[in-house]
Amino acid sequence: MKKTVQKIIYVIVIIGCFIYLNQNEIKRFYDHYIDNHKVELKNLSKDEFFQIQFIDVGQGESIFIENNKKYVLVDAGNNKDGNKLVKYFQELGIDSFQYVIGTHAHEDHIGGMDNIIRTFPINHYYMPSPTVDNMTYQGVIKALQDKNIKLETPNIDSTFQVENTKFQILSITDDEEDLNNTSIILKVSYYNTTFLLMSDATEEIERNLLEKDINSDVLKVSHHGSKYSSIAQFINKVHPKYAIIQVGKNNDYYFPHKVTLDKLERIGSKIYRTDLNGTIIITSNGNDLQISTKKTDTNQE
């Protein structure tokens, strides 16, 4: 009997070693592959600058992207955040936006958008097609009309470029039943660094994305860390080094949910949250990322 137990232990140890060594082998191959497929960055100009800010707007989202003094804004928090965001961008010296994207027609994403539209010149304004009969949405439409800015609805898989930053629309729908499903999902690539911005995508949308090239260095986690999004297959395939959750302190939805945090921790993602860290700022040199955080007055009452 004792011998049988010993044998079983030997077998388990041998299998364990085999799996461990194989994993190392796979990782070596993967690193080698990545090294050989990195874009050469030798010719990158000294003036190149790329930064993405996940702005702390409490229970809402606002993401600001800058490359060589050209600017893109994805969402603008709640109604109460509009003036604070305008002031924040003015203090940063922003004079106009190349693209402004309202990912979907919920207040925590487009609430402050009318203030942005009325203050800054905007070259392109993107939003999904479903119209909504509430003050927030109508306020955005009125501001666009007053400023003579066209509301554009991009096609799925369409791309645009701002300086050396590439943007791909991975998902957009016209599902009027669930506005979260309409969310404009963006993959942002700056040379060899990638950012996946999931807005309030549901499990259904994440499943649709599994066949696409979603592996990214940074994941802006779906729907403020809700347990109804961030399915395991999706998180595993994106496999982000850094996971960002835009979420308010003591919010009514108990976001972010523990199961989501557990899934991210299990794959070794470092988690940053606006409720704990404030505004999260990531700078890229095309290969490596630097992360800093700061408390901003965009989340003061």
- Closer Cβ to Zn ion, 200 or 275, answer by number: 200
Cβ of 64: how many Cβ atoms within 10 Å? 23
Smallest separation, CB 251 to Zn ion (Å): 10
Smallest separation, CB 226 to Zn ion (Å): 9
The values of phi and psi at residue 294, to 5°, are -150, 150
Smallest separation, CB 10 to Zn ion (Å): 53
The C-alpha R_g of the chain, in whole angstroms, comes to 21
Compute CA distances 298 → 140, 141, 262, 295, whole Å. 20, 24, 29, 9
Contact 221, 230 (CB under 8 A): yes
Of 265, 219, 230, 213, nearest to 52 by C-alpha is 219
CA 22 to chain centre: 32
- Closer Cβ to Zn ion, 50 or 234, answer by number: 234
Smallest separation, CB 120 to Zn ion (Å): 23
Contact 111, 122 (CB under 8 A): no
Smallest separation, CB 300 to Zn ion (Å): 20
- Closer Cβ to Zn ion, 60 or 154, answer by number: 60
- Closer Cβ to Zn ion, 162 or 197, answer by number: 197
Rounded Cα–Cα distance for residues 44 and 5 (Å): 61
- Closer Cβ to Zn ion, 59 or 98, answer by number: 59
Binding site for Zn ion (CB under 5 A): 108, 200
